Chain A
Amino acid sequence: AQSVTQLDSQVPVFEEAPVELRCNYSSSVSVYLFWYVQYPNQGLQLLLKYLSGSTLVKGINGFEAEFNKSQTSFHLRKPSVHISDTAEYFCAVRPRDNYGQNFVFGPGTRLSVLP
């Protein structure tokens, strides 16, 4: 079974400051990793995903994430946030080897960008 931990339930940050949202996972098998963003009263949108290759992946809206296998982490970063980045962010994993296996989501981190 897999589990995903997002230790920070809320992260306040000032506009134009850098931000890091933490994600750690536990799994007995190899997984694919995803970050999603959810704006108020909307569904989730894919920000980026790690499948293989370079451990630094770039996504939409200037976000990037780094996969660290030894620490089982997939932290999300942005060097300079905007007010419009205020949203909830979810980390998710899915087992690589089992066809049709389901996603496991973390509890989410609410990012609040302050003027």
Chain B
Amino acid sequence: DGGITQSPKYLFRKEGQNVTLSCEQNLNHDAMYWYRQDPGQGLRLIYYSQIVNDFQKGDIAEGYSVSREKKESFPLTVTSAQKNPTAFYLCASSLRQAHQPQHFGDGTRLSIL
């Protein structure tokens, strides 16, 4: 079955350490997204990519970086510059037509040791 795979499901980071969250999709979707979810705040867009080798900052990009070298993959790096990285991170993908919904992975929960 097609879908989005996020790994790992749980991740722990030490202070000053960069970590990378994986997101892979086999839905042949052009667009991919990273969201951060904190309790009571809904989803906030970190980065998005409409095509390979191109991506744009979302609302809260500071302290994060991404790459889009392949259509299927959109990894997110949480850098040491992100001072409050503890959150639930969701990856999503969609076709580019506006009426197409987003499909989501099961998320990665990042915690600071």
Q: Chain B 101-112, CB within 8 Å of chain A: the 1/0 string?
A: 111111101000
Interface hub of B6, B41, B58, B98 (most chain A Cβ within 10 A) = B98
A49–B103 Cα distance when bound, in Å, is 13
Is B90 an interface residue when CB atoms closer than 8 A count as contact? yes
Can you pick out 7 interface pairs between chain A and chain B where the beta carbons lie within 8 Å of each other?
Answer: A42-B106, A43-B6, A43-B90, A99-B97, A99-B98, A100-B50, A107-B41
Q: Closest Cβ of chain B: how far from A92's Cβ, in Å?
A: 8
Q: State the CA gap A46–B101 with chains docked (Å).
A: 8
- How many residue pairs, one in A and one in B, have C-beta atoms under 8 Å apart? 61
Binding site for B on A (CB under 8 A): 9, 32, 34, 36, 41-46, 49, 51, 90, 92, 94-103, 105-108
Contact A107-B42, Cβ < 8 Å, known A43-B104, A43-B107: yes
The number of chain B residues with a CB under 8 A from chain A is 27
Cα of A96 to Cα of B97 in the assembled complex, Å:
9
With contacts A41-B109, A42-B106, A43-B107 known, is A98 near B42, CB below 8 A? no
Decide: B98 and A98 in contact? CB cutoff 8 A.
yes
Q: Is the CB of A102 within 8 A of B99?
A: no
What residues of chain B have their CB less than 8 Å away from a CB belonging to chain A?
Answer: 4, 6, 31, 33, 40-43, 45, 48, 50, 58, 88, 90, 92, 96-99, 101-107, 109
B45 / chain A contacts, CB cutoff of 8 Å? 102
Task: Determine which residue in A43, A98, A99 has the highest number of CB atoms from chain B within 10 A of its CB, and name it.
Answer: A43
